[in-house]
């Protein structure tokens, strides 16, 4: 299968490039495929004529999105519509990545795909628009995920380790609950979903749940790192964007559709930790 990746330099795209061995992967840089440019999208689709588009490009800096909502809406929403338009014209499958931030976090049980979305932030609003735009492609798969990280790049895992290495005191919120999801685990699930013909909206996160503080505790434990880590409340840690207090996503639909490859979040973290420590290629 010929698969066109947007956002090819990002951490999720890099995980896809490492793990999708049975496919022809095309990852043009932003000069060749600019999501903010409709003509660029049309030209890339005409040039590459892929069987599937894996849209991994996004404006993901949640707090910056509050000040730059127009840009977030363009990249995370409008551009998805342009991709869907091109995919529809060529009979191409569009795979869109979405987020747990489409929910307001007021729930008390894991969110199902059919639960109403009510985002609290500009980022969440732009990604929800992206979901709507993706549905314009007759053949589409929308994968909602959460708390993505990898052994490299800028993410919570690497940030915690960098802070600990500098000996900084670390305060992490302990009243936001979700499911940390490694890029490697998500990449494998996306491949199984695409080759298995899944369509529609599917939640794809690692199993289980924790808080950001609980995630940090487990990172340091598995990495064997001493850190000055203490919990705090969201109210003590002011950010531009509001985050959902509870954004665990239910995986029941994924298990009904076929191959559920998402491991417990602690197991996925162990794999990432081993790569970071150089124990695995």
- Closest C-alpha to 38, from 2, 84, 100: 84
CB neighbour list of residue 43: distance below 8 Å, 6 or more residues apart:
none
Enter the tokens of residue 222: 């598995």
When computed from its CA atoms, the radius of gyration of the chain, rounded to whole angstroms, is 18
Residues 6+ apart with CB under 8 A from 241: 62, 63, 65, 66, 120, 121, 122, 123
Nearest to 95 by CA among 22, 21, 196, 178: 196
Query: What is the distance between the terminal CA atoms of the chain, rounded to a whole angstrom?
Result: 25
Residues forming the active site: 123
Locate the DSSP E strands across the chain.
Answer: 2-6, 24-26, 52-55, 93-99, 140-145, 148-149, 170-173, 177-178, 181-182, 200-203, 210-211, 229-232
């Amino acid at each position: 299968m010929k698969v066109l990746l947007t956002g090819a330099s990002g951490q999720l795209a890099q995980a896809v490039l490492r793990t999708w061995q049975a496919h022809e992967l095309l990852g043009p840089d932003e000069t060749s495929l600019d999501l903010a440019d409709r003509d660029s999208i049309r030209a890339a689709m005409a040039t590459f004529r892929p069987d599937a588009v894996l849209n991994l490009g996004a404006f993901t800096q949640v707090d910056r999105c509050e000040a730059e909502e127009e840009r977030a809406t363009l990249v995370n929403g409008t551009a998805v519509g342009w991709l869907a338009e091109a995919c529809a014209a060529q009979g191409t499958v569009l795979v869109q990545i979405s987020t747990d931030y489409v929910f307001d976090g007021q729930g008390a049980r894991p969110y199902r795909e059919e639960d109403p979305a009510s985002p609290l932030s500009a980022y969440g609003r732009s990604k929800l628009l992206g979901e709507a735009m993706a549905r314009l492609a007759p053949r589409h798969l929308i994968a909602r995920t959460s708390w993505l990280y990898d052994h490299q790049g800028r993410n919570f895992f690497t940030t915690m380790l960098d802070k600990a290495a500098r000996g900084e005191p670390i305060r992490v919120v302990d009243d936001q609950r979700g499911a940390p999801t490694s890029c490697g685990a998500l990449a494998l699930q996306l491949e199984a979903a695409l080759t298995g013909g899944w369509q529609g909206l599917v939640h794809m996160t690692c199993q289980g749940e924790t808080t950001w503080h609980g995630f940090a505790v487990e990172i340091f434990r598995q990495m064997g790192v001493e850190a000055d880590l203490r919990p705090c409340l969201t109210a003590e840690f002011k950010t531009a964007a509001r985050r959902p207090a509870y954004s665990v996503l239910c995986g029941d639909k994924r298990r009904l559709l076929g191959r559920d490859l998402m491991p417990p979040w602690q197991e996925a973290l162990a794999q990432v930790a081993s790569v970071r420590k150089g124990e695995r290629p």
